[in-house]
Every structure is written in structure tokens, then in C-alpha cells.
Structure 1
């Protein structure tokens, strides 16, 4: 629960407040520090640090060994590796913001961020996708300032002085009278209370990994720095090497090879569909092997058959081919795929009034547990009960016979 306790024992989880702390509390998008609290009687792991009220740092902890009482003295140690990684990402976020404004325009404003040890995320105002060239230039610009190893300067100013100096502030954010200004000379100047590197070179490396729209007029970039960026480059290199080896080409030949393979695949798929169509059309004779056949119903040719070997587009093409073959009559085709039964009904022009395709499909679709509709000459439908497709196809003869008898009476 949330009750106050005088002591935490081994295995307990809780929240601890210290009279003073080196731990940074989650703020401004930067995650809280982690680390340990240690004395002769206890070893406590700090999993997060937050500040629900300004000036009150709350440490979320788990007691690994011993116990801790109110009034105990502890040595507080921040996880230096995570802190350093977070600092790299936070300063990189400032460089990214400046690069976005330089490449995309001054309309870019921060709309949110996350600064963690393993990645950074930056949301910003922009009204169109970022092109490949823009993305490359943003990445180049950030890495340019990293390689220059520029000093990162911090100073405490009054809010009025900070704004007069040109420091960027977040819209809607409430600031104290005294604010901290972080500057990368000649490139970036922002109000920020987070942890940062001493010089841009400490970031090591910067790599964009994702760019997407998250709302109208708002985009999100994710990136990695330092060791994580180096790992990303290694993974990309390994991937390129594997592809080049498998495709038996050099790195520079990969784009052309992929384009060629895509064209070959398109051609092969087209030829496969054409062959399936020919086989399906040829197999739709009076003695079709699967039991479906052309029958005379009240003097009208009716062909009903399953063609699950075709995809949705192929089924329509097959209906065209069979309609041309039948000339005057009705064609009913069905397929099972993607977890549903699909049906298409085609009626020749001379029979549209007597056997409207839309009326036939409505009755057939009910058998497979769905709905259908369309024009008098062509209608489509389907349902989830795939096992009832043969029943629906068989029923089509009786449905069409009933429609023909009704039209004859009229």
C-alpha cells in the first residue's frame, strides 16, 4: 500500500526520501537515475527516482539485503554507466532539435521527448514526411558537431535574461525565476535542468533509427548514441555483408540486384496467375474432376465451382474467362482463404432481368454466414463459415432454378 513505514526489510519494495541525494529525478523527458543505497546493515537497489513535488526526490527501492530504518545513514551511488549513457542521449537531443530547425525550418518546435540510457525519442512539429536527403543531412549535422568536440556550457540566469539571450523554452512549460541554460556555442541554446556531457565529443556517435508521424502535424524521431549507435552500425554492416554474400554481388551492386529480383518476382507471379487461370478455365468442363460442372437449369447454362487455388483478383479474372466461355448463362465461383469463404456471381447480359447476380449472392452468402450484394450482372459476397462453401455452390443451381421459374410465371 501507500502507508508510511519506519523500516524496510529484506525483500521489501518501497519509496525512500533522503535529506540530500545525487540521484536525478525523472523530469523534462529524462528518466530518473538508478543505483544503490548502502551501509553496514543493508544493500538497497534504487530502480527509479522521481519528484512528485518540486524539491522532493523519491527513490523507488528494493531491499536486497538487511534492513533500513528511518534515520539511517547510507552511501548513495548512482549507476554511472546508465547516467553517462543518459547524458549522451540528452545532449544529443539538443543537437537534434537544432539540426531539425536548421534542415526543416524554424517552425520546428519540441512537442515531447524521452531521454533514456539506451535511446532518445524526440517529438516535434512538422507537417510532412522527412525525405531521405533531409534525414541524411540531419544525421550528418549532429555528427559534425559531435566530431568538433565543442564544449557544452551551462549557466544559471534569471528567466528574463535567459529569454533575452535567445535560449529556447518549451511552450506551456512553467519555469522558476532562476533557470539553467545549456549552450553548444553557435548551434544550440536551450533552457534545461537535465544531465549533460561536458563536450559534444563525449556523445561519440549519433544514429537515427526511426522517423514516423504520430499525429497530424507532429512527427517522432528515435535515435541512439555512443555504444548503442556503434552496435547499430555493426548490425547494419553485418546485414549488408550477408545480403551481398547471398546475392553474390558487391555492396554497391545490392540496390540494382534487389530491383532486378523484384522485377523477376513480379513477372513470375504474373506468369503463375496466368497459368492458374488457364488451368482453372480448362478444368471447368462438363466433367470437372472436383464434381463441379456446367448444368442446364430451365434451359440456362449454370456453372458453379470452387477455385480456392486462385486469389481474390484471380477469382475475378477466372469469372471473366468462364463467362466468355459460357456466353449465355450464369457463373458462380467460390474460394476459401484468409479464414473466410468468398463468392462471386456473374450473369450474362441476356439473363440479368431473370437471374440478377445480386439476388443470387445474397442467398448464397447467408449459407456461409455472411452477406453479399452487387449489380445484376456481377455480385460478390462471403462469410466466415468456410466449410459450408461446397453447400453454397451446390445450392446455387436450386436458387437460380427458383428465380427462372418465378420469371417464367411473370
Structure 2
């Protein structure tokens, strides 16, 4: 009797898969985070990624076989989400892995047994593919499994050779496809026909390592890496037309439809696409936030922000006007919490992040959409790169979102032009943050092949003898330089730390017989340390030997600040959120700055707790354990790596046992007690999702407190009060000032009204309307508005335009129009906005009342004259 696929839920499919391989001596492992351990990889995009070091032979596995259900996130073909039957951003990959244990024959046999015996897929509905040159796999399928040769397809490298990226482990693969329409016969089988076939199980025979040049060498062990798409198997077994209508996603789609007042089944295709996008993206978003990612404009944060904004926009496309993402997220959380309990544990963070991003985007979306509508109304052949960049830069529209909107109007976007605008912005940023003189860099590039890399001694030696390898003046190589000259020097060896990892370069001196060169900065260019300084005494000659001495006092202060940043990150993780990560830093002699991912401001209580915890660690005198080790070993120990940093095979680990462990090339104290004391100066937001703490440590705290103490003493003298009485005295003064300001504003209003009453007689009759255009001197904007409203009311059917100049570069304009004037097609907002442009400004408002401003007071008379002329023309009968 022919077999029939079992009707299983998504959870049942996942469990049956894991149980099958557990019974075959595979260790069931939990899903890794969507944030990979490897700092060079943005997101977990495949089930094998957590095992990459094992496949490469960098780390030994504790077990020869493993099986997982790995959550993955990809956005490389995001435009297909919702449009095809099985494209997703977030998906679960069921996998079984062998680390040098079994290989092709066993992997193929088990995949077939699982598919046909456990899930009940009829063999006659299955087709397989192999890599075109893989005769071994072909023979196993044909001779061992018994699949007819004509149902085994040989395919090229594009389809059947799997790589983990440009470099890394790779190998030929074999895929199993389900045939929805076997009645079409076995002739001319086209596996790319996704209306008939769906690939649901991919067996990768991981046996090579690919280098940057594309060369492939055999791995130490032959490994197995497989992936079965959970959503795809659910579609097959649940007999639904696409992955979105499985029990893994459809409840989310249904919730969105209910919020929009829609019935999914009876919706048109365009609406269904939007509902599917919401279903997919919300699932991706809850897991992304649960794994500690917050929305921002860089890296993973940008991907999250893009997904949330796509959800919001597709919600608007189906008629949802208000905030809704948290409600849909609740359904997604409920679907996932049994398998991934962290989504429920992080529920509040997920919903807070969604509400914040949705609210923020809704404010800009409407303005951005209006701009797009204005652009499209001009009927261009395509949206220009300049306009696309303006949408991105001003309104936060990702290029992809602009492309989506354009596509709805059968338009394209000038991507090349957009990239040109983006590159111009990058160029401006580079010019604003240039760290080394380009002429110096050019000279170094020319000399590089003739000199050795600088040997850095600064971790252990504050002083050393060194040879002058390169001597530059104004970027040009010279043989010698005299006193008073600014120079750039490269030594063969140096104790000076070069600016890197947020820590600024050392200060100090180069000295010799009757020679003194003050070094004010050190920067690293390639493998060379460039010392910037000025010759204070004597002559500096190329090739001579000097004594290089760092300023030890400045170094100690820098070390205290740098070690304090490590303690600060540890305290933030402990007190605020364990998913917090560094987003940038500055370590100077007198202060430190630490940027970190966090979607909200810290409370005053949190800031106090963080400061207290760090000072406790300082007082506990934790010894620093500094070691160089393989990067894999460092990660196994739990060392924190900064995303975006490039690390070599060996890394330097700074460990304050029980407190903090980070990969870092900077200089540090030997014991936390050397920091002395730590004080937070400020905590602020610098970008969406990015916070900044500025602080001081050690001697700098005393300097900071001395300045504060001086200010307090000055205020005490001025107010004749004790320090503890200052807040009350200042509050009383503020209240008095507010009361005085209110009285002054009231007097200004009365004066403006008095002036306006005198203008009534100057109103001019034009047809059935009164027109009054006047200059009210230096009247403030609020009083000007009040006067215009009152004059219009007294004049009845009228148009009133008033202007004033409170300073040469501050012009105020107000227009007040009656309903009769509006009926003639004149709107106050549009009218006064156009008039304000004459004064170098702009503005707008309601049809009956609007304000505008300008920057050129000398143009006010001209602007009012033009306003009067236009009103006569428009209202004249």
C-alpha cells in the first residue's frame, strides 16, 4: 500500500528529527545564538556555523556526532519573502553532524530512512541531486538506496557545492527533493521548477577548506553537515500551499489580518504578500531581540531596524494605521516559548524595542512617504540617486524600502547614483576624521619595503634604545632635522604605544647627546609606529641611536582609564543587561568614553550601582592575568571580543578573574587597586540604540572634583549660602525668573495688540475682502501670531499678513485667512511658506493660520510687498 506523508505539527517534526539522530548516538545540542561567537560573522546563517572551528580543525569536539535545531537569519534575498512559497529571513535548520566519524554512505542511508520511514514520504515522490563529479554519491543513491538513475540529477557547482562563505570549510552536497506533481512523469525533470519540486534536505560532505584565492585543500577530517528546513518539511507534511500557512507561521499572519480587519483566505495576492512579510519578519525580530540585538544604524542593529520598519510599512499597506507590532509579537512569542524560552524571558525587552522603533518610524514614515509621492507625481523614469539618498539620510529610509515603494509604481531607483552620494558622505567623514597626514602615509608606503616592522616593547619596558629608521619633515624623507622642527619618526623598536583600539598614543621623549625630541602622539600605519614630535634641542639624524622614554605618569593614567573601561563593560552586563556590548571607546590620559548598545537611558539608580560596583572591584584588588593564546582557546574561556575587530590566530587576553575577561591589545594596570577610584561624569544617547558613558579614573577623579569644588565655592560666595542650601536657592531664583518672564510675555502681548489695533485703519478693501499687510517692527513670534488672529477676526472676511524682525538674521511671518479667503483657493500655510523663502526661510501651517521664519531681515519689506500684490491679484474680482 503506498505510503502517505504524516500530518505532523512543526514541533512534532523537530522532535522526531532530533530523536531519530539521538537514537543513533548523536548528542542533542541547543540552538546557538543568532549572534555568532566569531566576531567576523554578522549573524548565524546556517546550522553548521557554531561548528566551523571543529570542521577547520581549530577545536576538538567533545563528541563525534551532534544534532541540532538551529535558528538562522538571512536577509540576502529579503525581496522574495512573502512572494515565493518558501523564502524566509528567519528559519530553523534541523541538522545532523559528523566530526570525522561517519561519511557519505551512512549520511545518505539515514537521510533516506528518516524521510521515508519516520516522516512517511513516498519514495516515488522523492528525487535527489548530486554534485556533477561526485560518482561516489551517485552510486550510493543508485546501488545502496535503490533510486532509479533517471531520478538522480547531476548538478553543477552553483547548486551542489556548498561553501560557508568566500573562505572556510566546504564540499560537494546531495539534496533530496519532494515532488508535488509526480503525475507529470520522470522525463525532463527540472528541479528548479519550484511549483513542482521543493528541496527539503541538504547533505553536505564537508571535506575541503577554501582559501581567499579559491584554492581548496582537504580538511584534516571528512565531516558531515546536513540541513533539513523545518518550515519546508512542515509545508509538505501539513499539505499547505506554502511555508507561511504552516502552524509555525500562520498564527502570526492571522493575528496581523485580524488587526487589519481582514480575512486572509479572501484577500487579494498583494495583501497576502504583506501579511506573509509581517508573519516572517516578526518571527525574525523576536528572536533577534531575545538574543541581545538592539536596533541601530550599523551591523546587526541595522538589520533589525530594517526588519521592524518593513513590518510597520506592510502593516500600513494593509490598512493598519496605529501601533500593532507588540500585539503580533505576542503571538510569535507564544508559538516559540516552549522551544526557545528566552523569548518569553525577554518579552518586555522585545515589546519595548518594538514599540520604540515603531513609534519612531511612524513619525518619519509619513513625511518620507509624502516626499516619495511628490517625487513620483513628477512622473520620472526612475527615482534619482540623490532623492533616494535624501530619503535615507533625512528620513531613515533604507535604500531597499525606497526600491520597494518604487516597484509598486513600476519605477526603479538609481542605485549607482545613491552609492555615489553615499561615498561622498563617507569621503566627508574620512576627511573629518583623518588620523594620519596623507603625505606622511605616502612616504611610508614608499619606504616600507626597505625597513622592518616596528618592534613594540611597551607592555614591559617604559624605556629602550632605538634606531632612527625613517625621519620625515612635512611628509618628506630627510637625513637630519634641526631644533624647532616638527618631525615624524619611525624607530626599529619602541616602548611607545600607538593609537589603537580606542586608546590614544603615548607621550614622551627621544633623547641623546645634546638631543631632546618631545613626542606628542604615536599612530600606527601598517606595521610601523609613527612618532609625531618636535625637536626641542640638538640635531636629529637618520640612522642614529636614541633613548626612547615614555611619559610614565601619562601612561599610568591611561592604563587606569583603559582597565576601567573593561570593568565598566562588566558592570553594565551585570547590572543592566547581559547582552550589552561595546560599540566604541576612547581611552585618554585624562578621561575615558565608552559607547554601548542599549535601547534606553540608564536610571540614576543604575548609574549609581555601576559606579559603586566598579569601585568595589577596585578596592578588592583583583590581579590582572594577561596572556597570549589561540583565539579558539580565548573564546572557550569566555573572553569577550569586540564585533568588527579583526583578530589573528593568537590574541592577547586581559583577565581580571571573576570580574572581566576581554581580548585587548591595550595597556593595563597589573592590579585593579592601581585604578584608585572611578567616577561617572555623564550618561547620554548618541544615536538610536547607542548610549555613551563618560568617566574618569585615578588622578583624573581628583582633577574633576577640584574643578567641581571650585565652582561650588564660587556659588556659595555669590549666594551667601552653604553647599547644601544651593539647590533650594537656585530653584527659588528659577521660579522668580519664570514669573518675571510670564509678566514680560503678557506685556509684550498687550503691546502687540495695541499696535495691531492702530493697523485696522490701514486695511485695504479688495472686492468683498479686507487685506492687511504690515511690518510690526521687532514683535516676537508669539505676539505676532496673536495680533494676526485678532486683526483677522475684527476685519471679518479678510487676509492678514504680518512680519517682524527681532534680529538681523531672525524674521517672523504670520498669515491669518478667513474661510471666504480659503474658498478662493488660498491657504495660509502654503502662502506664507512661499513668502518666507524670499527672506531665506520657510514654514507653513493650517489653511486659516500659519507661521514662517526667515534669516535675512533686509528682505522683509520686499517680502511683504510681494505678499500684498499676490493677495490683491488672487482676491480681486
TM-score of the two chains, using structure 2 as the length reference? 0.41
Residue in structure 1 matching 2:804, options 335, 346, 371: 335
181 and 296 in structure 1: CA distance in 2 versus 1, 3 angstrom threshold:
closer
Q: Does 1:198 align with 2:666?
A: no
Aligned to 1:34: 507
Number of residues of Structure 1 aligned to a counterpart in Structure 2: 400
User: What do the CA deviations read for 1:213-238 (whole angstroms, capped 9, x no partner)?
Assistant: 33333222222222222121122233
User: What do the CA deviations read for 1:328-357 (whole angstroms, capped 9, x no partner)?
Assistant: 544332211352433323234456546946
Contact 1:15 1:60 in 2 (8 A): yes
Residue 73 of structure 1 deviates from its aligned partner by: 3.0
Residue 274 of structure 1 deviates from its aligned partner by: 2.0
Q: Does 1:183 align with 2:655?
A: yes
Q: Does 1:378 align with 2:849?
A: yes
Aligned to 2:746: 274
Q: Does 1:149 align with 2:583?
A: no
- More helix by percentage: 2
Greater CA drift, 100-109 or 303-312:
303-312
Alpha-carbon separation, structure 1, partners of 2:573 and 2:669 = 22
User: What do the CA deviations read for 1:65-107 (whole angstroms, capped 9, x no partner)?
Assistant: 3334454332222111111111111111111111111122111
226 and 294 in structure 1: CA distance in 2 versus 1, 3 angstrom threshold:
same
Aligned to 2:126: none
Residue in structure 1 matching 2:684, options 194, 203, 212: 212
277 and 203 in structure 1: CA distance in 2 versus 1, 3 angstrom threshold:
same
Alpha-carbon separation, structure 2, partners of 1:364 and 1:161 = 69
Alpha-carbon separation, structure 2, partners of 1:384 and 1:71 = 60
Greater CA drift, 378-387 or 265-274:
378-387
Describe how 1:43-82 pairs up with structure 2 within 5 A: 43-54=516-527, 56-82=528-554
Alpha-carbon separation, structure 2, partners of 1:357 and 1:6 = 71
Alpha-carbon separation, structure 2, partners of 1:224 and 1:273 = 43
Alpha-carbon separation, structure 1, partners of 2:834 and 2:510 = 73
2:792 is paired with a residue of what secondary structure? helix
1:284 is paired with a residue of what secondary structure? helix
Aligned to 1:139: 611
Alpha-carbon separation, structure 1, partners of 2:503 and 2:734 = 44
Unaligned runs of 5+ in 2: 1-438, 448-469, 471-476
User: What do the CA deviations read for 1:235-293 (whole angstroms, capped 9, x no partner)?
Assistant: 2233234334444554334444444443433333233222222222223345x6xxx84
Alpha-carbon separation, structure 2, partners of 1:347 and 1:60 = 66
Alpha-carbon separation, structure 1, partners of 2:733 and 2:817 = 40
TM-score of the two chains, using structure 1 as the length reference? 0.82
45 and 7 in structure 1: CA distance in 2 versus 1, 3 angstrom threshold:
farther
Q: Does 1:234 align with 2:706?
A: yes
Aligned to 1:294: 762
RMSD of the TM alignment (CA)?
3.5
Residue 202 of structure 1 deviates from its aligned partner by: 1.8
Unaligned runs of 5+ in 1: none
14 and 404 in structure 1: CA distance in 2 versus 1, 3 angstrom threshold:
closer
Residue 114 of structure 1 deviates from its aligned partner by: 2.2
Alpha-carbon separation, structure 1, partners of 2:633 and 2:580 = 23
169 and 379 in structure 1: CA distance in 2 versus 1, 3 angstrom threshold:
closer
Aligned to 2:779: 310
Aligned to 2:816: 346
Alpha-carbon separation, structure 1, partners of 2:667 and 2:837 = 65
1:27 is paired with a residue of what secondary structure? coil
264 and 303 in structure 1: CA distance in 2 versus 1, 3 angstrom threshold:
farther
Contact 2:778 2:806 in 1 (8 A): no
User: What do the CA deviations read for 1:129-165 (whole angstroms, capped 9, x no partner)?
Assistant: 2222222222222222223333333334444443333
Alpha-carbon separation, structure 2, partners of 1:362 and 1:148 = 65
Residue 368 of structure 1 deviates from its aligned partner by: 5.2
Aligned to 2:236: none
1:76 is paired with a residue of what secondary structure? strand
2:494 is paired with a residue of what secondary structure? coil
Aligned to 2:566: 94
Alpha-carbon separation, structure 1, partners of 2:836 and 2:687 = 39
355 and 379 in structure 1: CA distance in 2 versus 1, 3 angstrom threshold:
farther
308 and 208 in structure 1: CA distance in 2 versus 1, 3 angstrom threshold:
farther
- More strand by percentage: 1
Aligned to 2:488: 14
302 and 63 in structure 1: CA distance in 2 versus 1, 3 angstrom threshold:
closer
Alpha-carbon separation, structure 2, partners of 1:363 and 1:181 = 63
Alpha-carbon separation, structure 1, partners of 2:632 and 2:875 = 88
Contact 1:360 1:399 in 2 (8 A): no
330 and 99 in structure 1: CA distance in 2 versus 1, 3 angstrom threshold:
same
Contact 1:41 1:68 in 2 (8 A): no
1:333 is paired with a residue of what secondary structure? strand
31 and 383 in structure 1: CA distance in 2 versus 1, 3 angstrom threshold:
closer
Q: Does 1:243 align with 2:712?
A: no
154 and 272 in structure 1: CA distance in 2 versus 1, 3 angstrom threshold:
same
Residue 21 of structure 1 deviates from its aligned partner by: 3.1
Q: Does 1:24 align with 2:492?
A: no
264 and 250 in structure 1: CA distance in 2 versus 1, 3 angstrom threshold:
same
User: What do the CA deviations read for 1:150-207 (whole angstroms, capped 9, x no partner)?
Assistant: 3333334444443333332333434445443323232122233322222222222222
Residue 389 of structure 1 deviates from its aligned partner by: 3.3
Greater CA drift, 57-66 or 123-132:
57-66
Alpha-carbon separation, structure 2, partners of 1:125 and 1:370 = 38
1:233 is paired with a residue of what secondary structure? helix
Larger relative contact order (Cα-Cα within 8 Å, sequence gap ≥ 6) = 1
